[in-house]
């Protein structure tokens, strides 16, 4: 008897197979009862008929509980009306383990706090399964895109001695009698990587001690950060656009079933071909003004501002050339206007906000030192970073894509906490 998984059943039509999984649901109709089995790869309707299965199996119905672990053997049949398009004519069910208590996540509605407190169990649900599978495919697409374009993976450290995105959102810790921080970004180390290899990226967790409770914020999230030598702002935007187009294309090829499980309207995703609109910060401010927003020029964009701007387009929009004071110390200034930084944010459609932030880096040593001092940062932790401008400095650019925000947009989920297996927020450190 061959042991198979639900997602491979189409290869075993009219054959007897064994599956290993858990009870997702059950119901009965006269002398027939149905077991919905999950095995981590999908859901399967298993049909138990009196006389076709052994007596012990048929009599199991009233003794099975949600999330009991079981072995199920039977014949694979095509059934277009069933979930996944196949069903199993059951011959035998063997119970591996009966749940000791009633499963806490039942079919009734549960509050968000309850579900998040039981996140370790909520991950088993159909919706969460679909989101995590899409997250997995987005991660694979990201890695494939950079690997296929000759980028080298250079891992950035998680412990750092310096700030990247300002000092107000640092998680500080003791590091063998020294002061250290959890990384806000791997970017500075990728700049070193780009000077060594030309094109590099890192992909890992980053940490922001931002006291925000919005649906777009986590204190720990994952970010992919490429860095490219001999690359200006316009070329950087080309790379940003290419990555997002590739991600969406792969998701539409490989995750339609999961998107359907989420009731995701994919009509907007299906239009994600190049080119994406590119507007300046000044043009973005004008859009807000024309939409009745009392926006103060020189400020960063808030969530509502981003939503209004994104609603003018059916694709991600890239906003570039920002007031320099809104951007980090390492951002290069516009040669035509020293008050503007060569930064760019990509705003996702449908009100999902910024999914990518990036720009061209300052490659002049003296100007970079001046910027560090202007931001009241100590020079010593940046001595190694300044070396990159002393020895072989070149124009270079890069960006960071926030994985969870991208997953939220693709899945159409309203809160970012569903897009990471175990979210960390201001109020949640467990499970």
Write the pLDDT tens digit of every residue in 20-67.
999 999 999 888 999 999 999 999 999 999 999 999 999 999 999 999
- Start and end residues for every CATH 3.30.930.10 domain found in the chain: 119-419
pLDDT digits (tens, 9 = 90+) for 234-257: 999 999 999 999 999 999 999 999
Q: Categorize the per-residue pLDDT at 421 as very low, low, confident or very high, splitting at 50, 70 and 90.
A: very high
Q: What is the pLDDT of residue 181?
A: 96
Question: If pLDDT is split at 50, 70 and 90, which confidence band does 277 have?
Answer: very high
Mean pLDDT, rounded, for 402-429? 96
Task: Quickly state the pLDDT bin for 108 (edges 50, 70, 90).
Answer: confident
Mean pLDDT of the chain: 96
Which percentage of the chain shows pLDDT scores above 90?
93
Classify domain 2-97 at the CATH topology level. OB fold (Dihydrolipoamide Acetyltransferase, E2P) (2.40.50)
Q: What is the pLDDT of residues 339-375, one digit of tens each?
A: 999 999 999 999 999 999 999 999 999 999 999 999 9
Position 168 scores a pLDDT of 84
Range(s) within the chain of domains with CATH label 2.40.50.140: 2-97
Q: What pLDDT score does 429 carry?
A: 95
pTM, two decimals, is 0.95
What's the CA gap between 431 and 429, in Å, rounded?
6
What pLDDT does 212 receive?
86
Over residues 123-171, the pLDDT tens digits come to: 999 999 999 999 999 999 999 999 999 999 999 999 999 888 878 899 9
For domain 119-419, the CATH architecture is: 2-Layer Sandwich (3.30)
44 touches 5 (CB < 8 A): no
């Amino acid at each position: 008897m061959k042991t198979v998984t639900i997602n491979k059943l189409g290869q075993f039509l009219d054959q007897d197979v064994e599956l290993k999984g858990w009870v997702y649901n059950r119901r009965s109709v006269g002398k027939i009862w149905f077991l919905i089995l999950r095995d981590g790869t999908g859901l399967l309707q298993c049909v138990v008929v009196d006389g076709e299965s052994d007596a012990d199996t048929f009599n199991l119905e009233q003794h099975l509980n949600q999330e009991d672990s079981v072995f199920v053997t039977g014949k694979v049949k095509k059934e277009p009306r069933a979930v996944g398009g196949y069903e199993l004519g059951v011959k035998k069910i063997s119970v591996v383990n009966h749940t000791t208590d009633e499963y806490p996540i039942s079919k009734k509605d549960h509050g968000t706090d309850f579900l998040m407190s039981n996140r370790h169990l909520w991950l088993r649900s159909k919706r969460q399964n679909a989101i995590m599978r899409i997250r997995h495919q987005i991660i694979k697409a990201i890695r494939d895109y950079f690997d296929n374009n000759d980028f080298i993976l250079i891992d950035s450290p998680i412990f750092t001695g310096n700030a990247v995105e300002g000092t107000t959102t640092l998680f500080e810790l003791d590091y063998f009698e020294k002061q250290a921080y959890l990384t806000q970004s791997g970017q500075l180390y990728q700049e070193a990587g780009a000077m060594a290899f030309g094109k590099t990226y890192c992909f890992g967790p980053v940490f922001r001690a931002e006291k925000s409770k919005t649906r777009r914020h986590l204190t720990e999230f994952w970010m992919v950060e490429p860095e490219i030598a001999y690359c200006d702002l316009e070329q950087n935007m080309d790379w940003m656009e290419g990555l997002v187009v590739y991600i969406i294309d792969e998701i539409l090829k490989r995750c339609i079933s999961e998107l359907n499980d989420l009731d995701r309207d994919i009509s907007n995703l299906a239009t994600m071909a190049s080119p994406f609109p590119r507007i300046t910060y000044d043009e973005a401010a004008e859009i807000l003004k024309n939409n009745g927003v009392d926006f103060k020029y020189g400020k960063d964009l808030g969530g509502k501002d981003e939503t209004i701007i994104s609603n003018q387009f059916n694709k991600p929009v890239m906003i570039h050339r920002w007031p320099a004071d809104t951007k980090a110390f390492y951002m290069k200034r516009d040669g035509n206007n020293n008050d503007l930084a060569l930064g760019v944010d990509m705003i996702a459609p449908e009100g999902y906000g910024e999914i990518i932030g990036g720009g061209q880096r300052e490659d002049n040593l003296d100007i970079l030192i001046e910027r560090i001092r202007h931001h009241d940062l100590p020079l010593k932790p940046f001595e190694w970073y300044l070396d990159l401008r002393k020895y072989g400095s070149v124009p270079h650019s890069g960006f960071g894509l926030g994985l969870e925000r991208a997953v939220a947009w693709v899945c159409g989920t309203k809160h970012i906490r569903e897009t990471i297996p175990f979210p960390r927020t201001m109020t949640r450190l467990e499970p």
